Chains A and B, each alone.
Chain A
Amino acid sequence: MNSNQLSNPPKPGQDSYILAIETSCDETAVSVVKNGRDVLSNMIFSQIETHKAFGGVVPEVASRKHVESITVMLEEAVEEAGIPLDQLSAIAVTQGPGLVGALLVGIMAAKSLAFALDKPLIGTHHIAGHIYANRLVQELEYPCMALVVSGGHTELVLMEQEGHFHLIGRTRDDAVGEAYDKVARALGFPYPGGPYVDQLAMQSETEVKLPRAWLEPDSYDFSFSGLKSAVLNAVNQSKMRGETPDQSGIALGFQASVMEVLVEKAIRAVRETGAVQLLLCGGVAANQGLRAALTARCKQESIALLVPPLKYCTDNAAMIGAAAHLKWLHGEFVPQTMKAEPGLSLEAWSVQS
């Protein structure tokens, strides 16, 4: 397979320009990132308006939309970056996790570009992208701890050194974002409902007490399905009593439970591993309540907290370029026969050297 050979292997001190593509869910995104840090362009076509009508992301519809937008995003990202195609160092693409049909559109675009331009191909882990979104704004120090919270993920990831991922905790059922959307639906909000719950909780003056799922004392895992059921019970019980549910009180109770568990586990993970930074990442990092709670607690504990700006929290391709840079530095590329991996392991994606 000659596609894996480089026309221009990485040299120390040489600038790298990675074109990155992300299509794992419902955003068609392309970015050009210099040296894993400087975002030269960050184009995103969001399909959210389309999926709202279905009450959630429909995989077949998402895949169709990706095909419609992919070359437009490529063109805009390259024009905005002002980097000629032949000066690109590598093509990076989200290989997984994600919706397989959606991933495949980005992967075929990336493979085609790598082939047409004779550039190496970097298969990239979506969650590594969310974590390294932090490096787009601030240099990371190791060991560091990442709290990844999104629609599909809730994870605590320890990085003892650059590019090495150790998953120490994960959700055993619903992801945080998923729990938010389900609770929002129970409270009568349209998809995606997370931001409504967040807002309602912030305005609330009462709090309906809801349980916390701590699991085993030493566990860094999470569980949100019991909490979600408790919300549904609270709503149904008020309805059965002929009362209007205390919506904002329930929203605050739910948010308080989620925040407390996330914050406590993250802080304990930082303490017990000796991490010098805590990175908040993923789409739910946009949640105001979570940002505020984590900021206050980290200040109190003198822990350095990194939170990327909103545009790098939700799915984007700049973060894929940032993570792919790790592989670029180590010359770890994938062949043209690379597969979409809906269940790609983060730990296995760690740099090999």
Chain B
Amino acid sequence: MPAPNGMAVFATMLPTTLLVALAAVGGLLGWLRPGLPPSFHRWLGALALVGAAAAALVVLRGVALANGVGLAAYAGGVVADRFSTFAVLLLCGTGLLAILTSGAAEERLGPRLPAYHALILTATAGGAILAVQVEMGMLVVGLGIVVISLVGIVAMEKTAEAPGVAAFRSLVSAGVALALMLYGLAIVYGATGSTDLAAVRGQFLHSAPLEGLGLALTLLGLAYLVGAPPLHHWMLQVASASSGAVAGAVVSIAVAAGGIALVRVMVSGFSATMHPWVVVAGVLGAVACLYPALLSLVAGSVRRLIGFGACLQGGLVLSALVGSGRGGGLKPAGGVIALLFGLVVFVLAIQASFQAVARLEEDGIGGGLAGVRGLARRSPMAAVLLSLGLAGLAGLPPLAGFLVRILVASSAVAGGYAWVAVAGVAASAIYAVAVLRWIGAAYVEDDELPVVPHRTPRLASVVGLACALFGVVAMLLAGPLLYAADGAASVLR
């Protein structure tokens, strides 16, 4: 990828720089001018994210004009290509949703709202680094920024005890995950003598158990972000303890950034030809699908149910990874396409679900089964949001999560891992049963409780509903979305 280094550095880091700069501006303004209205910070954050997304598109144009493949900088440690553009657009969209729905948590965040917005921007910036990195050092930097920002976001709600505990647990889990990944990378470096992922691939020995262990530890560390066992408790804790808006922001950014990091490191870097990590990903994916799905059958609150659903999406991300190699007839198995399409769908379903939780909180409705009973009569919009969000997480048609499951199962079978497909399908069916129980309660178990007055901010409501309805739109527009995902995946082959 020959390109002038100055131009390449500018191109690869432009979205990240923009996000970090505007995060700093927003944070400083919040500190120096505390009287500024919350909407100012909201729109500043939105502007930063839209600007970063536009910058990513400009860079893509630059790539097309330069060589059509990608621009590399920092001695090949970062690259800007179609995949990074797709990833940055996804991350900016996720961050934008988090910013626009922050109104629902305004009361709990209080004067920390500017810092909350700044942390969303830095988490997105960290995700953008994960999207462009192809080297171990940059990977650790990007992951560190994402993790610390997300823990900080959870800790923003320190007025209540539960979010504080959730933040602490997230921090501990993040520390373990980072340690696992660092150990893994250190082993791989020790075995191959290089921190460049492409160079590592070239020197990898299939028979070396040490290298396999290194890859497995790296994968375990990265899987933390998508809420895969054994480091999944933080996601359940955040889903249960944080307010709906904050939990939606943290979980959706984590899943998006985690999915992107997994693709960049495991597929682009190590590649599916390095067999050991694919098997580990398959086992991890199967467990990450089945474990939360089974637990969801006994979920006592809608927050836990959504938390399990979010973990299940992480399991599907890992399941898609096993189909990232070649399928029959040397055609690509399609795992990366399914994963990228899935990330778009998962992020929106997670956001829609947590917006429903936020709405239940704002309207003073409990999150237990008793609170949800007869919701359609008491708060129709909350019922619609909740059912669409949950159906999206469960992959029930006509929402696009259904299509994602077919694509993930297809790619897993094509990649030679039919058992991973079976686990994913079984887990989805189990989770769907759990979800139907709650949706049924919302619509049919009418009680005599009074109709609830609507108190959720209009913007948060509209964004939440748009996220929920996008599940249907994504089904109709699956062709163009898959086309974009295919374009992004093509540079990784």
Q: Do A and B bind each other?
A: no
